Structure 1
Amino acid sequence: MNKRTLLLLLILLLFANSALLAQQVSFSVVPEPYYIKQGNGGLSITDRTTIAYSDELKASAELLNEAVLSYAGFALAVNTQSPANQIVLKLDSITVKEKEGYHLVINDRQILIKGHDQAGVFYGIQSLMQLWKPHDKTSLRVEKGEIRDYPRFNYRGMHLDVGRHMYSIAFLKKFIDLLALYKFNVFHWHLTEDQGWRIEIKKYPKLQSVSAWRDGTIIGHKKETPHTFDGLRYGGYYTQEEVREVVRYASSKHVNILPEIEMPGHALAALTAYPQLGCTGGPYKTAQFWGVFDDVFCAGNEDTYQFMEDVLDEVVSLFPYAYVHIGGDECPKLKWKKCPKCQQKIKENGLKDEHELQGYFMKRIEKYLGTKNKKAVGWDEVLEGGVSKNTTIMNWRGEQSGIAAAKENYEVIMTPENMLYFDYYQSLDKNEPVAAGNYTPLSKVYGYEPIPDSLSSEQAGYIKGVQGGIWTEYMKDEKHLEYMVFPRALALSEIAWSDKREKDYPWFLKKLRYHEGFMKRTKLNYYPYFDEIIAEMKSGANGNSYLTLKTTLPKAQIRYTLDGSVPHAKSKLYQGPVLMNRSMTLKAGLFVGTRRSGRIFNQDFQHHAGLGKKISLSYAPAGKYSFSAGLLLNGLEGHHRFNDSQWLGFSGENLEALIDLGALRPVSRIGLNVLNYHWQRMWAPKKLNFLISADGKTFKEIYTGGNFDINGINKIRKEFPSENIRYVKILGENVGRIPIGEYGEGEKAWLMADEIIIN
């Protein structure tokens, strides 16, 4: 075989593989099915296609017809006689054994959807809707093939907070449609908050006239002080008839609605209308900004329990789902400690402290729900005071609380905020709209596994499902909400539905790129930059710093500049890690051929003598800011959003860092960045010292400072006459506990530090 023939065969093989891949992607579904196989050719759905179904599947057939009408402009007639050119819907629990499971077959003559139950038939229809595509003005085209499918978890949920910002009934229906399309089966409707009470309770009309409204809303992020407000009255509520309408609609899409009534915390809106239910009697005011507030329902007041029972009486009458969420999170105990009624309740019931008082509160509510044939769901704080095993736990504060609950035989819905909260930034690009704080890209969501290896098979059985969180402080409108949630919700759908052995991130991205056409047709304002450039700084063996760039976009080239100019199709081609041997701004772009795709990537780099040098810390950083000490010497300065994994955080502890430059060298400038965001519980050090030494034994203080009162990043820089030194010591004294009267008073303060600069 000559070289020309071999080259021709390789080209043909490449095109054949590309065509096969394109074919496979066109016959793909999100979430990934348990079994899927594409056949040869396709089938057209036209105005001559008919539907066959039994009476109990009439609702599913009507939904299918509505979908066909919206896509193709025609409806299908019912015909149970001829099997040709027909969509057949059947219940078959014998061959489809799993609950909510379905079997979809598309062949030359018909489309057959068999379901274990009505939900199974419905999910088969949802998969069919993802497979078809407009062929011409008079038909839909679907590839032939077969899918056998059923869910991994019984509970597949998505939460939505309407207390901070409220959304129309029309949007809620669209949201439910999207949940159903991706096979979620629970809509967790968070209805009450400090910033607004959103459900009509007829026995307490002031919840509508007072608690549903606030006098204004904070502008920008809550960390930015002084707080400014728009002064616009904001609010509203869903009437009970509207709630019933949403419940009916969700039921038709096989989505259960889990209502949440927050207690005993997040109560300011309710207390504004009924101040006698608080520990101090008020006056109170519905919150105009975001956070956790000390004024909560009085747990020592019997009127509080009567109020809660009355509210729940009306709530359970509206929601047929077997569960009611009763909150339990973020309830400060400061008012309870000073409240005579709360202290008397502790004494009367032999409780140890205020944590057990919250446990008493939640147990009473849980027991009352039991009289209504309902089960309670609570955030993981409810475990601290003790609740019965009848309560289902949502572990928002992290995976460990879910693991602990499962080991204690509680049913658990895995909802860790660091993995599954969609109010977090999905990109580090500085042009992203304001979000809550941290960074949860699509890849991180997709990589989450709800059943940890640390659980036995028996304990793993208590993990009943998984849920994404949508907290809406910074989502003022429906388009912004869509941007934050999609496509991360699609990644979550595969966690919730698909066998973990079938998950594959590169394949998921291929499906997602193909699926973009559907999202555009449905006018979904999804986040389109999931293939953007990401970077990682590394130190080489020679002590130099190198920036690695990568993307998940196939066939894309990365081109970059080092002078701050915008890269174009003839800019330098990225072929390996970039040496960062001076202070610079690197900008990079993705190019498919000569066309640039997506946004420009920007990275500022600060070159200095401390880069990559040995550093040791006396106290370890904590929580989600517990990164390697080397980040303090990598040339990358952290962003004010503090979500870029560049900030080290010390919870109640001091910053004590020792840097070894490896040899004597002249130094005349030392710097450090610290954060000061009191509304994030981040406090600049009350005292900061820079010290230098030639031998590591005798240190000379060259800087002492304090009172870093800039709200945001405080850049401390000290210049001094040049000295030959080897060691630098940085001492930052944490304020310890947050002062009384400040947000989060009594809690440990965060000392946040980044980039020690030595020149």
Structure 2
Amino acid sequence: MAYYKMNRFHWHLVDGTGWRVEIKKYPQLTQQAAWRPYENLVEWSDKERQYCEKSPNAYGGYYTQEDVKEIVAYASSKYITVIPEIEMPGHSEEVLAVFPQLSCTGKAYVNSDFCIGNPKTFIFLEDVLTEIMALFPSEYIHIGGDEAEKKGWKSCSKCADLMEKKGLKDVDELQSYMIHHIETFLNKNGRRLLGWDEIMQGGLAPNATVMSWRGEEYGIKAVQAGHDAIMTPIKYCYFNFYQDAPESHVLSWAGYTPIEKVYSYNPVPDSVNVEEKKHILGVQANVWTEYIPTENIAEMMIWPRALAIAETGWTQPDRKLFSRFKENALNAVEYLKDKGYNPFDLKDEVGERKEYYDTLKHLAIGKPVEYKQPFSDEYPAGGKDALVNGLQGGWSCDNNRWQGFINNGIDVVIDLQTTQTVHSIQATFMQDVFGWCWMPKDVEIYTSVDSQNFTLLSNITNDIPFTQVGFFLKEFAWKGNVEARYIRYVANPDKSNTKVGFIFTDEIVVR
């Protein structure tokens, strides 16, 4: 890190998958919440998702306070500041399994958020942060703040009483109350609060710094309000995503951030003025390791993409040139290998899905599409023209090519505007369970000449189980010979899959 001029290490120490740092006042956190009975996270999640005490068959572990001191001191010798993160109020299943009295129900394995209406919650968090501050001299303490479910708060009498007492109108303001409280505590101890962009919900604490991960817009809003921000948008800065074609790569989260995409990012948007730009402190890359089983694979996911973040952080946009950078990165890969690291071998890069670069020509291009089931606002792709614009998706569902449907699947009718001979109808679907997207259970393909009477041409059953981990593309197609003006394409969700997820397709090709 020091060699490539990286000066901050953000250490995400705790999460719903385990508590990873020794807290002497609460030894139960590492006696139980640091261990689980299954090594494989997918298997553990599919089972009871419970924690256990350390045993010969248990998987887990944690850093002792002596470990932490050693790491912080070594980082300091390289002029690197270690910023710890202690998650709150969400992602706290592991704490609430050990201390269920800090949850809204008072029961283990029910809530994932701390009960904000319980004063004991703040006693616990302040105790933990006191020990954390003693270990980490960092000016910033990261308190998470992301993805709180807030479900338990809505039916909790303690939370309701606090909201009434403090005049809080909704659960967003309840979360903001907690963040304000923790910020006051940190400020009294000479520290500053840093949190993911959800800490803006319900009103941002007065001195808080925002880490903008869901996109740039939250960082922009923060600096426009006079707050500091760190830019780390998921589309560019998540290194647990694929960095190359999935079939040539290790199992990853759903997403595609090749080195060129990472390098293209400018953390200082043009939409902010000169004064606001001063509040953008830097850029950060994230690598989440739930599904990364070894240090070697972690290194492969980090390097050489981290080089793109390093240059982005220190180089003005007008001085960046990808062709020059890539040549240097290829040399750096060899250097890293010589040093004993395990970087991704950039010279073997396959690149984006080849279909992404093709523009198709077929009978349905530009034709009217009637949606009997709406597409998701989150993944609209090209809107009502997305499925007939000739553009195919890449390795990621978030590249504005894949149109997403949730709950009721896909049911669309394409009007070819004239009756003509049709020989094939096909569409490609994506499955990546880490991205909450699944194949349809089956596909029905119909045609009609009058838009009233449809004939079923084919019913195609999916053969990829919804439990199958990995990245898959599958084409569902009919071939034959029929006279038709209207094409109806139906993709049904698998109702036996209790996890709510998306069905994605990129183009309905009619020839």
Q: For the superposition of Structure 1 and Structure 2, which TM-score range results when normalised by the shorter chain?
A: 0.7 to 0.9
SS at match of 1:180: coil
For residue 647 of structure 1, what is the amino acid of its counterpart? W
The alignment partner of 1:430 has SS state of helix
Tell me: CA distance 1:719–1:463, structure 2 relative to 1, closer, same or farther (3 Å).
closer
What is the distance in 1 between the residues matched to 2:39 and 2:402?
Answer: 29
Separation (CA, whole Å) in 2 of partners of 1:439 and 1:705: 32
Q: Which residue of 137, 145, 152 corresponds with 1:335?
A: 152
Residue in 1 that maps onto 2:305 = 488
Give the Cα separation in 2 of the matches to 1:692 and 1:449.
48
Higher alpha-carbon Rg: 1
Question: 2:53 is matched with which residue?
Answer: none
Residue of 205, 208, 211 corresponding to 2:27 = 205
Aligned CA distance change for structure 1 residues 669 and 539 (closer, same or farther; 3 Å): closer
Q: Please, which runs of 5 or more residues in structure 1 have no aligned partner? A: 1-178, 285-292, 545-608
SS of corresponding position for 2:307? helix
- CA distance in structure 2 between the aligned counterparts of 1:624 and 1:406, rounded to whole angstroms: 27
Aligned with 1:263 (options 88, 99, 112): 88
What is the Cα-based RMSD across aligned positions, in Å?
Answer: 3.7
For residues 720 and 247 of structure 1, the distance between their equivalents in structure 2, rounded to whole angstroms, comes to 63
Counterpart code for 1:729: R
Q: Name the residue aligned to 1:182.
A: 4
Map of 1:626 onto structure 2? 381
Residue aligning to 2:289: 472
* Distance in 2 between residues matched to 1:635 and 1:463, nearest whole Å: 36
CA distance in 2, matches of 1:377, 1:336: 23
Name the CA distance, whole Å, in 1 between partners of 2:240 and 2:480.
Answer: 48
Matches of 1:219 and 1:264, distance apart in 2? 22
Aligned AA (2:65)? Q
Q: Does 1:233 align with 2:50?
A: no
1:499 aligns with 2:316: yes
d(CA) in 2 for partners of 1:627, 1:667: 25
Equivalent AA in structure 1 for residue 224 of structure 2: K
Question: Take 2:18 and 2:128, find their aligned partners in 1: how far apart are those partners?
Answer: 15
Q: Please give the alpha-carbon distance, in whole angstroms, between the structure 2 residues aligned to 1:530 and 1:348.
A: 62
Segment drifting more, 708-717 vs 378-387: 708-717
The AA in structure 2 aligned to 1:724 is E
Are the structure 2 counterparts of residues 335 and 382 from structure 1 closer, same or farther at C-alpha, using a change threshold of 3 Å? Answer: same
CA distance 1:752–1:539, shift in 2 (3 Å): closer
2:13 to 187, 191, 202: 191
CA contact (8 A) 2:393 2:399 kept: no
The answer to whether 1:702 aligns with 2:438 is: no
Q: 1:300 to 1:703 in 2, by over 3 A?
A: farther
Distance (Å, rounded) in 1 between the aligned partners of 2:49 and 2:128: 34
The reply on whether 1:515 has 2:267 as its aligned counterpart is no
Q: 1:344 to 1:362 in 2, by over 3 A?
A: same
- Measured after TM superposition, the shift of residue 729 of structure 1 is 3.2
Shift of 1:734: 8.1
C-alpha deviation, 1:539, in angstroms: 5.8
User: Which amino acid letter does the alignment assign opposite residue 60 of structure 2?
Assistant: G
SS of the equivalent of 2:284 reads: strand
Per-residue deviation, 1:733: 7.7
User: Which letter maps to 1:467?
Assistant: Q
Deviation at 1:658, TM superposition (A): 4.4
- Cα distance, 1:390–1:309 mapped onto 2, change above 3 Å: same
Distance 1:338 1:657 in 2: 40
Q: 1:638 to 1:500 in 2, by over 3 A?
A: closer
Distance in 1, matches of 2:102 and 2:80, equals: 35
Paired residue for 1:527, among 329, 333, 344?
A: 344
Pairing 1:348-497 to 2, within 5 Å after superposition: 348-497=165-314
For 2:473 and 2:270, locate their aligned partners in 1 and report how far apart those are by CA, in whole Å.
42
Q: Distance in 1 between matches of 2:489 and 2:182?
A: 51
2:72 to 235, 242, 247: 247
Aligned to 1:273: 98
When the two structures are superposed, what TM-score results if normalisation uses the length of structure 1? 0.59
**Which residue in the other structure is 1:589 paired with?**
none
State the Cα distance separating 1:338 from its structure 2 match.
2.2
What is the aligned partner in structure 1 of residue 448 from structure 2? 693
SS of match in other structure, 1:727: strand
* 1:620 positional shift: 5.8
Determine what percentage of the aligned residue pairs are the same residue: 35
Distance 1:654 1:530 in 2: 40
Rate the CA distance shift 1:743–1:539 in 2: closer, same or farther, 3 A. closer
Q: What's the counterpart of residue 124 of structure 2?
A: 307
1:752 corresponds in structure 2 to 504
Q: Given residue 723 of structure 1, which amino acid in structure 2 is its aligned partner?
A: V
The aligned residue for residue 725 of structure 1 is 484
Alignment CA distance shift 1:733-1:432 (3 Å): closer
Take 1:626 and 1:195, find their aligned partners in 2: how far apart are those partners? 33
Q: Which digits, 9 at most, give the CA deviation of each residue in 1:551-602, with x for residues without a partner? A: xxxxxxxxxxxxxxxxxxxxxxxxxxxxxxxxxxxxxxxxxxxxxxxxxxxx
Which runs of 5 or more residues in structure 2 are unaligned?
51-55
Decide whether the 8 Å contact of 1:221 with 1:434 is kept in 2: no
| Change in CA separation of 1:416 and 1:307 when aligned onto 2, cut-off 3 Å | same
Cα deviation for residue 344 of structure 1 reads 1.9
Q: Distance in 2 between matches of 1:228 and 1:394?
A: 29
Distance 1:350 1:681, change over 3 A: farther
